[in-house]
Amino acid sequence: MTVHTPTSATPYGTLPPASPMPQRSPVSLPRLAQMRAAGEKITMLTAYDATFAAMADAAGVECILVGDSLGMVCQGLHSTVGVSLDDMRYHTACVARGLHRAQATAWLIADLPYGSYQASREQALHSASALMQAGAHMVKLEGGGWTAPTVQFLTERGIPVCAHLGLTPQTVHALGGYRVQGRDDVAAALLRRQARELQDAGASMLVLEMVPAGLAAELTQTLTQCHTIGIGAGNGTAGQVLVLHDMLGVNLGKTPKFVRNFMQEAGSVQAAMQAYVRCVKDGSFPDNQLHAW
Ligand code: KIV
């Protein structure tokens, strides 16, 4: 059988050997839709540089997110609000180069940072184009309601969009902190409406962050054209995402309750990434009991 292994010798040392993964074709939107139809969970991890991106791909992660969480884990900021479009462009290009050098096949998503898409649809197009030209395959933006026309504007122009509802870190100050969203009936109804609008506007993926597991599972059933990716949203979503530093247990701040430290169990970065993929696919992560809000 042909295998897919990362390059182990680098100019800086030798990476731990990875278990061979079956070779896969490049991850694309049709491929993600096929996985969903077949009931296979989609895995997503953040990466901010070339090496970790190539390692995540070699571990079998389908989607790599250059998240604006880089503000916290790379830049030492207290929130994602200080991350600029230039920062995102730089890290997206680093990740894209790493994937290209490793002949990797993951789907690359880049966050539109705070202040780069709120002013107008044209501003969003300009910012999204910069990230696509840096190597992204899709852009992610936060919020519902007012974002639907922007999503439509981008998707009509050939830019795939991932939406993000629930806890939206760029609006943490307006939300009053990093807390669970969609808990009461009114908030849940709003989330349902916004999710439907985003799907209708053309979003093909939707990150649901810190929303009750039951609501996330219900949205997953209703949104047939838009793949839900959960983070702190139980295990009923079409896929899962974690921040790389959180799952490796090297977070400088407070580790969210829904995170599992895969490094502790695995012993190497590559094995931790492989364990994450395995646990998401077999449904053992996340544990609905532990992460029900
Ligand atoms: O910025 C990020 O890493 C994210 C994930 C937490 C989904 O948006």
DSSP-derived letter for residue 255 is P
Q: Which atom of ligand 1 is nearest to the CA of 44?
A: 7
CA of 111 to the centre of ligand 1 (A): 8
Among 13-17, 54-58, 162-166, 265-269, the least confident range: 13-17
Task: Give the pair of three-digit tokens for residue 98.
Answer: 């790493």
Q: Which atom of ligand 1 is nearest to the CA of 209?
A: 7
By most ligand atoms within 8 Å of CB, the mutation choice from 66, 231, 255 for ligand 1 is: 231
Which residues have CB under 8 Å from 137's CB, separation 6+? 107, 108, 109, 160
What local confidence, expressed as pLDDT, does residue 79 receive? Answer: 94
C-alpha dihedral sign at 74, 77, 81, 87: negative
Among 178-182, 266-270, 272-276, the least confident range: 178-182
What local confidence, expressed as pLDDT, does residue 289 receive? Answer: 65
Is residue 122 annotated as part of the catalytic site, yes or no? no
The span from the CA of 87 to the CA of 96, in Å, is 14
What local confidence, expressed as pLDDT, does residue 86 receive? Answer: 98
pTM here is 0.93
The span from the CA of 45 to the CA of 27, in Å, is 14
CA of 207 to the centre of ligand 1 (A): 8
CA of 68 to the centre of ligand 1 (A): 6
| pLDDT for residue 51 is more than 90 | yes
Task: Give the pair of three-digit tokens for residue 84.
Answer: 């600029």
Pocket around ligand 1 at a 6 A CB cut-off: 46, 65, 67-69, 111, 207, 231, 241, 243
What local confidence, expressed as pLDDT, does residue 22 receive? Answer: 58
Q: What is the mean pLDDT of residues 228-252?
A: 96
Mean pLDDT rounded to a whole number for the chain: 92
Q: What is the mean pLDDT of residues 168-197?
A: 94
